[in-house]
Structure 1
Amino acid sequence: MSDGLPSARVTALLHAGLLVSDLVRAKSFYESVLGLAPHPNRPDLPYPGEWYDLGGGQQLHLMQLPNPDAGSLRPEHGGRDRHIALAVGDMAALKRRLDAAGVAYTASKSGRAALFCRDPDMNTLEFVEVS
Protein backbone atom coordinates (compact mmCIF):
# COMPACT_ATOMS: atom_id res chain seq x y z
CA MET A 1 0.00 0.00 0.00
CA SER A 2 1.43 3.36 -1.00
CA ASP A 3 0.59 6.32 1.20
CA GLY A 4 2.76 8.75 -0.76
CA LEU A 5 5.38 8.86 2.01
CA PRO A 6 8.96 7.60 1.71
CA SER A 7 9.40 3.95 2.69
CA ALA A 8 9.97 3.39 6.40
CA ARG A 9 10.43 -0.38 6.06
CA VAL A 10 12.72 -1.81 8.73
CA THR A 11 15.58 -3.62 7.02
CA ALA A 12 17.89 -4.89 9.79
CA LEU A 13 18.53 -5.16 13.50
CA LEU A 14 21.71 -3.16 14.04
CA HIS A 15 22.19 -3.71 17.76
CA ALA A 16 20.42 -4.87 20.87
CA GLY A 17 20.96 -3.04 24.16
CA LEU A 18 20.90 -4.84 27.49
CA LEU A 19 20.94 -3.24 30.93
CA VAL A 20 23.52 -4.54 33.38
CA SER A 21 24.10 -3.63 37.02
CA ASP A 22 27.80 -4.55 37.21
CA LEU A 23 29.77 -4.07 33.99
CA VAL A 24 32.80 -6.05 35.18
CA ARG A 25 30.62 -9.07 36.03
CA ALA A 26 28.67 -8.75 32.76
CA LYS A 27 31.85 -8.48 30.70
CA SER A 28 33.19 -11.61 32.37
CA PHE A 29 30.06 -13.51 31.31
CA TYR A 30 29.93 -12.22 27.74
CA GLU A 31 33.67 -12.53 27.14
CA SER A 32 34.74 -15.55 29.22
CA VAL A 33 31.61 -17.69 28.96
CA LEU A 34 30.27 -16.69 25.53
CA GLY A 35 33.61 -15.81 23.95
CA LEU A 36 32.62 -12.39 22.58
CA ALA A 37 35.31 -9.80 21.88
CA PRO A 38 34.76 -6.12 22.74
CA HIS A 39 34.32 -3.73 19.84
CA PRO A 40 37.30 -1.34 19.94
CA ASN A 41 35.44 1.89 19.14
CA ARG A 42 32.65 2.36 21.68
CA PRO A 43 31.09 5.81 21.36
CA ASP A 44 31.77 8.25 24.20
CA LEU A 45 28.59 7.83 26.22
CA PRO A 46 27.86 9.27 29.69
CA TYR A 47 27.62 5.83 31.34
CA PRO A 48 29.77 2.69 31.47
CA GLY A 49 29.17 0.05 28.84
CA GLU A 50 30.62 -2.26 26.24
CA TRP A 51 29.92 -3.07 22.57
CA TYR A 52 30.39 -6.50 20.98
CA ASP A 53 30.40 -7.23 17.25
CA LEU A 54 28.17 -10.16 16.34
CA GLY A 55 28.93 -10.21 12.62
CA GLY A 56 26.91 -8.93 9.70
CA GLY A 57 27.02 -5.38 11.04
CA GLN A 58 25.13 -6.39 14.18
CA GLN A 59 26.23 -5.54 17.70
CA LEU A 60 25.31 -6.17 21.31
CA HIS A 61 25.47 -3.15 23.61
CA LEU A 62 25.80 -3.59 27.38
CA MET A 63 24.74 -0.51 29.33
CA GLN A 64 25.44 -0.12 33.06
CA LEU A 65 22.31 1.83 33.96
CA PRO A 66 19.54 1.45 36.55
CA ASN A 67 17.14 -1.33 35.57
CA PRO A 68 13.48 -0.37 36.04
CA ASP A 69 12.57 -4.10 36.06
CA ALA A 70 15.26 -5.25 38.51
CA GLY A 71 12.81 -6.71 41.05
CA SER A 72 10.36 -8.27 38.59
CA LEU A 73 9.73 -12.01 38.49
CA ARG A 74 10.94 -13.72 35.32
CA PRO A 75 9.40 -16.89 33.82
CA GLU A 76 11.42 -20.03 34.47
CA HIS A 77 11.80 -20.77 30.75
CA GLY A 78 13.47 -17.95 28.83
CA GLY A 79 11.45 -18.69 25.70
CA ARG A 80 8.45 -17.24 27.51
CA ASP A 81 10.24 -14.01 28.36
CA ARG A 82 11.58 -11.12 26.33
CA HIS A 83 14.87 -12.19 24.81
CA ILE A 84 17.35 -11.75 22.01
CA ALA A 85 18.29 -14.66 19.76
CA LEU A 86 21.92 -15.25 18.82
CA ALA A 87 23.27 -17.68 16.22
CA VAL A 88 25.88 -20.27 17.18
CA GLY A 89 27.69 -22.73 14.95
CA ASP A 90 28.18 -25.50 17.53
CA MET A 91 25.49 -25.98 20.17
CA ALA A 92 27.40 -28.78 21.89
CA ALA A 93 30.41 -26.49 22.38
CA LEU A 94 28.16 -23.75 23.78
CA LYS A 95 26.60 -26.24 26.22
CA ARG A 96 30.07 -27.28 27.39
CA ARG A 97 31.00 -23.62 28.01
CA LEU A 98 27.76 -22.95 29.90
CA ASP A 99 28.13 -26.16 31.95
CA ALA A 100 31.74 -25.33 32.83
CA ALA A 101 30.66 -21.87 34.03
CA GLY A 102 27.68 -23.23 36.00
CA VAL A 103 25.17 -21.33 33.84
CA ALA A 104 21.72 -22.94 33.82
CA TYR A 105 19.88 -23.25 30.51
CA THR A 106 16.74 -24.80 29.10
CA ALA A 107 16.15 -26.36 25.69
CA SER A 108 13.71 -24.79 23.29
CA LYS A 109 10.23 -26.23 23.80
CA SER A 110 9.64 -26.04 20.02
CA GLY A 111 12.06 -28.89 19.30
CA ARG A 112 14.47 -26.62 17.43
CA ALA A 113 18.21 -26.82 18.07
CA ALA A 114 18.01 -23.86 20.45
CA LEU A 115 18.49 -23.14 24.13
CA PHE A 116 17.85 -20.29 26.53
CA CYS A 117 19.93 -18.96 29.40
CA ARG A 118 20.14 -15.78 31.45
CA ASP A 119 23.07 -13.50 31.97
CA PRO A 120 24.00 -12.36 35.50
CA ASP A 121 21.38 -9.56 35.26
CA MET A 122 18.58 -11.94 34.22
CA ASN A 123 18.59 -10.81 30.57
CA THR A 124 17.41 -13.76 28.51
CA LEU A 125 19.52 -15.03 25.64
CA GLU A 126 18.36 -17.55 23.08
CA PHE A 127 20.98 -19.44 21.10
CA VAL A 128 20.00 -21.05 17.81
CA GLU A 129 22.30 -23.46 16.02
CA VAL A 130 22.89 -22.43 12.41
CA SER A 131 25.16 -23.97 9.79
Structure 2
Amino acid sequence: METVGIHHVALNVPDVEEGIRFYTEVLGGQLRTDRPELGIAGAWIDLGAQQVHLVEAPVPRNLGQHFALRVRDLDAAVAELRAKGVELGDPSHIGSNRQTFVVDPAGNPIELHEVGEPIG
Protein backbone atom coordinates (compact mmCIF):
# COMPACT_ATOMS: atom_id res chain seq x y z
CA MET A 1 0.00 0.00 0.00
CA GLU A 2 1.30 3.43 -0.90
CA THR A 3 0.08 6.29 1.25
CA VAL A 4 0.43 9.88 0.18
CA GLY A 5 -0.38 11.65 3.44
CA ILE A 6 -3.12 12.23 5.96
CA HIS A 7 -6.39 13.47 4.46
CA HIS A 8 -8.28 14.39 7.62
CA VAL A 9 -8.57 14.01 11.36
CA ALA A 10 -12.05 13.51 12.85
CA LEU A 11 -12.78 15.03 16.26
CA ASN A 12 -15.79 14.68 18.51
CA VAL A 13 -17.23 18.00 19.68
CA PRO A 14 -20.34 18.61 21.79
CA ASP A 15 -21.17 21.83 19.86
CA VAL A 16 -20.39 21.92 16.12
CA GLU A 17 -20.98 25.69 15.76
CA GLU A 18 -18.54 26.42 18.59
CA GLY A 19 -16.02 24.11 16.92
CA ILE A 20 -16.48 25.83 13.56
CA ARG A 21 -15.81 29.23 15.16
CA PHE A 22 -12.63 27.97 16.84
CA TYR A 23 -11.18 26.19 13.81
CA THR A 24 -12.01 29.03 11.40
CA GLU A 25 -11.78 32.26 13.41
CA VAL A 26 -8.99 31.24 15.79
CA LEU A 27 -6.93 28.77 13.75
CA GLY A 28 -7.65 30.27 10.31
CA GLY A 29 -9.30 27.27 8.67
CA GLN A 30 -11.87 27.43 5.87
CA LEU A 31 -15.30 25.86 6.33
CA ARG A 32 -16.12 23.54 3.43
CA THR A 33 -19.59 23.69 1.92
CA ASP A 34 -19.47 20.31 0.15
CA ARG A 35 -20.14 18.08 3.19
CA PRO A 36 -23.00 15.73 2.32
CA GLU A 37 -25.82 14.90 4.74
CA LEU A 38 -24.42 12.07 6.84
CA GLY A 39 -27.20 11.72 9.41
CA ILE A 40 -25.14 13.34 12.17
CA ALA A 41 -24.28 16.98 12.76
CA GLY A 42 -20.77 17.93 11.76
CA ALA A 43 -18.52 20.10 9.62
CA TRP A 44 -15.48 19.77 7.38
CA ILE A 45 -12.77 22.40 7.69
CA ASP A 46 -9.67 22.85 5.52
CA LEU A 47 -6.47 23.51 7.49
CA GLY A 48 -3.68 23.75 4.95
CA ALA A 49 -3.72 20.70 2.68
CA GLN A 50 -5.53 18.60 5.29
CA GLN A 51 -8.97 18.69 6.84
CA VAL A 52 -10.46 18.52 10.31
CA HIS A 53 -13.85 16.80 10.42
CA LEU A 54 -15.96 17.83 13.39
CA VAL A 55 -18.53 15.27 14.54
CA GLU A 56 -21.18 16.20 17.09
CA ALA A 57 -20.77 13.50 19.73
CA PRO A 58 -19.55 13.16 23.32
CA VAL A 59 -15.83 13.81 23.69
CA PRO A 60 -14.04 10.71 25.02
CA ARG A 61 -11.55 10.85 27.87
CA ASN A 62 -8.17 11.97 26.55
CA LEU A 63 -5.41 9.38 26.74
CA GLY A 64 -2.79 11.53 25.07
CA GLN A 65 -4.28 11.52 21.59
CA HIS A 66 -3.81 14.74 19.64
CA PHE A 67 -2.89 15.98 16.20
CA ALA A 68 -0.21 18.47 15.24
CA LEU A 69 -0.45 21.48 12.97
CA ARG A 70 2.85 22.32 11.34
CA VAL A 71 3.55 26.05 11.45
CA ARG A 72 6.39 28.01 9.83
CA ASP A 73 6.94 30.39 12.77
CA LEU A 74 5.85 29.08 16.17
CA ASP A 75 6.56 32.34 17.98
CA ALA A 76 4.33 34.25 15.54
CA ALA A 77 1.58 31.62 15.86
CA VAL A 78 1.71 31.80 19.67
CA ALA A 79 1.59 35.62 19.60
CA GLU A 80 -1.38 35.60 17.20
CA LEU A 81 -3.35 33.11 19.28
CA ARG A 82 -2.62 34.94 22.53
CA ALA A 83 -3.82 38.18 20.90
CA LYS A 84 -7.10 36.34 20.22
CA GLY A 85 -7.36 35.42 23.90
CA VAL A 86 -6.31 31.78 23.53
CA GLU A 87 -4.44 30.27 26.48
CA LEU A 88 -1.42 28.16 25.57
CA GLY A 89 1.95 27.29 27.02
CA ASP A 90 5.34 28.61 26.04
CA PRO A 91 7.06 26.70 23.21
CA SER A 92 9.46 23.93 24.18
CA HIS A 93 12.21 22.18 22.25
CA ILE A 94 11.92 18.54 21.22
CA GLY A 95 15.28 17.86 19.61
CA SER A 96 15.64 20.52 16.93
CA ASN A 97 11.88 21.01 16.70
CA ARG A 98 9.68 23.29 18.80
CA GLN A 99 6.13 22.76 19.99
CA THR A 100 3.34 23.94 22.21
CA PHE A 101 -0.26 22.88 22.74
CA VAL A 102 -3.63 24.59 22.54
CA VAL A 103 -6.95 23.03 23.52
CA ASP A 104 -10.11 23.48 21.43
CA PRO A 105 -13.42 24.36 23.15
CA ALA A 106 -14.33 20.65 23.35
CA GLY A 107 -11.09 19.79 25.17
CA ASN A 108 -9.25 18.27 22.18
CA PRO A 109 -5.50 19.01 22.41
CA ILE A 110 -3.78 20.39 19.31
CA GLU A 111 -0.01 20.53 18.99
CA LEU A 112 1.52 23.48 17.14
CA HIS A 113 4.77 22.17 15.66
CA GLU A 114 7.71 23.99 14.06
CA VAL A 115 10.24 21.77 12.29
CA GLY A 116 13.84 22.76 12.95
CA GLU A 117 17.12 21.88 11.32
CA PRO A 118 18.27 18.29 11.94
CA ILE A 119 20.76 17.92 14.79
CA GLY A 120 24.09 16.31 14.00
Larger-Rg structure:
1
Using the aligned pairs only, state the percent identity.
36
CA shift, 1:130, in A, is 4.9
Unaligned runs of 5+ in 2: none
Paired residues in the alignment total: 114
Q: Secondary structure at the match of 1:13?
A: coil
Candidates 59, 62, 73, aligned match of 1:90: 73
CA distance in 2 between partners of 1:21 and 1:32 (Å): 18
Q: TM-score, normalised by structure 1?
A: 0.73
Which stretches of structure 1, 4 residues or more, deviate above 6 A after TM superposition?
A: none
Across the aligned residues of Structure 1 and Structure 2, the Cα RMSD in angstroms comes to 2.3
> Contact conserved, 1:34 with 1:94, CA < 8 A, in 2?
no
Over residues 23-65 of structure 1, what are the superposed CA-to-partner deviations in whole Å (9 max), with x where a residue is unaligned? Answer: 1211111111111111221122111111112333x21101111
Residue 21 (structure 1) aligns with: 14
CA shift, 1:18, in A, is 0.5
CA shift, 1:93, in A, is 2.7
Unaligned runs of 5+ in 1: 1-7, 76-80
Q: TM-score, normalised by structure 2?
A: 0.79
